[in-house]
Structure 1
């Protein structure tokens, strides 16, 4: 396998499937099967999952809720998704640990870097919930930070599109996909990959990002094997 340890970033919206909200059990089991295949191949897997299918902190203002309060609500939404994913992963026979940026000992461990690394070394899937425990930071920022802390080889951002395009492929049929692109080129062209905090963290720590379609069966495994035709690789060079 090309990568020994990965940080897989999943969007909360993806868990809702075609329903547009909530959690679709079929998507959960599909993701679990993909992750199990990678784990069986010997790759260590850590996961950060968003909460947009339940609540977004940025939606708080529209509802008249204080932004900080809304962000904490969004963090709790990520824990709900993380617990659902944990249950699905264990159903397919994997050992897991759920670690939270907010203390809630009844359902998950507090995040401790050395403990997270040890879980990975023991062959457990580690899921990071509740962001980094502070408002104004997205789950993209959480993914970048946790990946750096556990010394992951790469951040794999699973989305519903198969990479980074010159324009939004859902709006512009002439948009073309990049197979490789540098951090500087993404900055210069203003491409939307991650929020600026998350993206800068990866750039400053020379941590590559691959944006790919998680919903296509086999894509995750092919990426781990080193298939360069999957998604878009963003790196220093």
Structure 2
């Protein structure tokens, strides 16, 4: 009893008072489509709905509704208080709105602050986008688009622009995307939808140590310049001591055969 656009927006058709149609499970499926826990593939007017890899669907049992967030974003549901109360999700009543929130689960390997869905980083002119969805090509996800390749939970165009998929992404996926943007790593996009990554000659991949400190390589092509939208800079500790900086920069160091402190005229 659902009509969905495949992008998380859904209409639940209730039927009539005399002949009810929709069920609580229909409503929970709509919530899961919105949160990214489930995906919809549309063909010839029919939607095939699947649970994304490593996600747990919302459920109802013994009269109790259990909402699940995806692992890629915290869940926030806002609706009429009477509706949410009928589902046992709030004690509020009335025609005004109430909000129910479910934080995503974290682990010992998670960042202290999680990156928000839709945040971006601009690294040396290349764009890294963070998305609450499963990596294309995985269970319940669409296929890898033409011209792109997947490596871990990073989808890249082979030219330094990438999307990090948060439902399965790790800090190493983020560092991988940064290295692709700086040229420290290169990506070869294969016909089968995968990407083969290689470290450029003489370069060192960015890394994170056991204390959670990031070591970001600048690469040799340009000084490192990182700006961002959303909370990406803050989550990665790149927003300065007060957390208000809007850019992070780091200069290259000159090695053997390099030129530093000189002016060249051509």
- TM-score, normalised by the number of residues in structure 2: 0.23
Q: Which has the higher contact order (CA 8 A, sep 6+)?
A: 1
Q: Which has the higher strand share?
A: 2
- TM-score, normalised by the number of residues in structure 1: 0.26
Q: Which has the higher helix share?
A: 1
Q: Return the index of the structure with the highest Cα Rg.
A: 2
